[in-house]
Amino acid sequence: MGRVFAAADIGSNTVHLLVAETTRRGLRRLHNVSDWMSLGQVVSHERMIPEPLVDRLLLTLTQFQEASLTFKAEGLTVFATEAMRSATNHPAVLDRIRSEVGIEVDLISPRREAELSYQGIQLDCAGPEPFMLLELGGGSAQVAWCHQGQVQWDVSLAIGTGRLLDLANITYPVPEVAHQRLAQILQTTLGSLEIHEPVPRVVACGGVARGLWRALHPDGDRVLLRQELEYLRWASSRLTLDQISQRFGVKAKRSATLFPGSMAYLFLMEKLGVSVMEISEYGVREGAIREMALGIRPAVSR
């Protein structure tokens, strides 16, 4: 039997726990659970995490801690990303988590987020380097150039799906004016992204990419084509959220991310000059567990 580790991330769409056992082939998921909190959209609109949502976050993390004990994980590491970084009250929120739950949350940088994603995708998308790593969440997108076994450089862009839903005021079906606002936001934001050499390969990971992948490829084919994303962008803009959920077989709350997610990835692919991208099933949580298993980072005590 392999060693058991637990990792949780306070993300901008979900707060997610993974408990996994190490195997010769990688990881075996023992417990994989999430709570959809839409922190990225909330923080984009209110600039802070409201008290009721903080209370819910504390309850969720308490349950995560109990689950890690149930599965006898060697340690539980918890980290937070863009929504927490951007929240004006994040010092107070992290203090409450520390004092009331007993968990020390690591507020990681965009570079660290990209490094964890890089470790995660080695489990199923290890391949030729260099390549561009894309990870679109609810609050931001990480764009990272990976070569020689590490992240060489990275850029964090404020185009997470929750942020885009708020800034473009997207409702469903999507009005043309909201479609135009979204396109303008993406065009303006990506104007600052400079690419100085050809991009031979793109790998995307994270919840938004997996949502697009599952909507378009229920057969599990890992390669998404630009034309497929164009179709998803068009179809999801014409439907209600219930219709999107039923047609594409995604959870109700994931439905709202298909339109801004497909738009953001289309703009990113155009900027990078590519027409295909690979999708990894793994990401930051698996990366954190892989680092602990390999001894790159020590298992964090509860």
Query: Residue 16 is encoded by which pair of tokens?
Result: 């997610």
Alpha helices in the chain (DSSP H): 39-46, 51-70, 82-86, 90-96, 110-121, 161-167, 176-190, 207-216, 226-238, 241-248, 252-272, 284-294
pLDDT digits over 215-250, tens only? 999 999 999 999 999 999 999 999 999 999 999 999
Using DSSP bridges, classify how beta strands 106-107 and 131-136 pair: parallel, antiparallel or unpaired. Answer: unpaired
- Per-residue exposure over 10-27, b if at least 16 CB sit within 10 Å of its own CB, e if not: bbbbbbbbbbbbbeeebb
Residues of the chain above pLDDT 70, percent? 98
Decide: 203 and 134 in contact? Cβ < 8 Å. Answer: yes
β-pair partners for 30: none
Fold of 4-109: Nucleotidyltransferase; domain 5 (3.30.420)
- pTM score, whole prediction: 0.92
Collapsed DSSP state (helix, strand, coil) of residue 158: coil
Give the model confidence (pLDDT) of 191-220 as tens digits.
989 998 999 999 999 999 999 999 999 999
pLDDT of residue 294: 82
In the prediction, which pLDDT does 301 show? 45
Q: What is the mean pLDDT of the chain?
A: 94
Peptide bond into 50 cis (omega under 30): no
Bridge-partner residues for 150, per DSSP?
Answer: 147
Cβ partners under 8 Å of residue 238, min gap 6? 173, 174
Q: What is the pLDDT of residue 302?
A: 47
Instruction: Report the run of H or E that residue 29 belongs to, with start and end.
Output: strand 26-36
**Quick one: pLDDT band at residue 11, thresholds 50, 70, 90?**
very high
- If we measure between CA atoms, which residue out of 141, 134, 118 comes closest to residue 278? 134
pLDDT of residue 298: 59
Same fold, 4-109 and 124-279: yes
- Diameter over CA atoms, the chain: 56
Q: Where are the domains of the chain?
A: 4-109, 124-279
Query: What would the mean pLDDT of 14-34 be, rounded to a whole number?
Result: 93
Mean pLDDT of 57-77: 95
What CATH architecture applies to the domain 124-279?
A: 2-Layer Sandwich (3.30)
pLDDT given for residue 155 in this prediction: 96
Give tens-digit pLDDT for 93-149.
999 999 999 999 999 999 999 999 999 999 999 999 999 999 999 999 999 999 999
Q: Which of 216, 236, 231, 230 is nearest to 279 (CA)?
A: 216
- What average pLDDT does this structure show over 262-269? 98
